[in-house]
């Protein structure tokens, strides 16, 4: 497993960290794990942190379109409305493929998604419009 996650009650969000080689299967597996946690319904927030040595080179645009989007459609009811996910990618060379997801049309129908270089800026964005009106 190239990821580990935990619910952070202080920010009412899930924190997940990826390391090593990260592929689409691992990303979707982690998402599936998180959205089935008991705290998910009251949070609907994910802060994804990428280690400096994480390798996203296995990700492709075709995987986003053929694998990730159908997965997002299939999990829409479990995911719920108002979901937000922020990725923190400290190594700029690793971010272009994730920025592709950020720019895909219709992805906001599933959840809002953005990419940042630092955790503070990611949290500022992530915690806007928290579920329950906060």
Would you tell me how many other CB atoms lie within 10 Å of the CB of residue 28? 16
Residue 107: predicted pLDDT: 55
How much is the average pLDDT of 29-44? 96
Bridge partners for 113 per DSSP: 85
Range from 3-17, 68-82, 87-101, 112-126 carrying the lowest mean pLDDT:
87-101
How much is the average pLDDT of 26-48? 96
Residue 113: predicted pLDDT: 85
Q: What would you measure as the largest C-alpha separation in the chain, in angstroms?
A: 38
Whole-number average pLDDT of the chain: 85
Nearest CA-CA partner of 18 in 45, 44, 56: 56
Residue 132: predicted pLDDT: 47
18 pLDDT above the threshold of 70:
yes
| Domains of the chain, each with CATH number or no CATH | 3-124 (3.30.750)
50 pLDDT above the threshold of 80:
yes
Contact partners, residue 126, CB within 8 Å, separation at least 6? 11, 13, 45, 46, 47, 84, 85, 86
How much is the average pLDDT of 117-126? 94
How much is the average pLDDT of 95-113? 66
Contact partners, residue 42, CB within 8 Å, separation at least 6? 12, 131, 132
């Amino acid at each position: 497993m190239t990821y580990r996650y935990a619910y952070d009650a202080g920010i009412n969000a899930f924190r997940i960290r990826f390391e090593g080689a990260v592929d689409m299967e691992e990303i979707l597996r982690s998402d599936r794990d998180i959205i089935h946690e008991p705290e998910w319904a009251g949070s609907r927030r994910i802060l994804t942190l990428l280690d400096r040595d994480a390798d996203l080179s296995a990700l492709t645009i075709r995987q986003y379109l053929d694998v990730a989007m159908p997965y997002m459609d299939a999990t829409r009811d479990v995911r719920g409305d108002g979901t937000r996910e922020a990725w923190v990618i400290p190594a700029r060379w690793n971010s272009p493929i994730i920025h592709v997801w950020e720019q895909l049309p219709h992805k906001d129908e599933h959840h809002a998604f953005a990419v940042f270089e630092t955790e503070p800026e990611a949290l500022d964005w992530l915690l806007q419009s928290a579920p329950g009106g906060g």
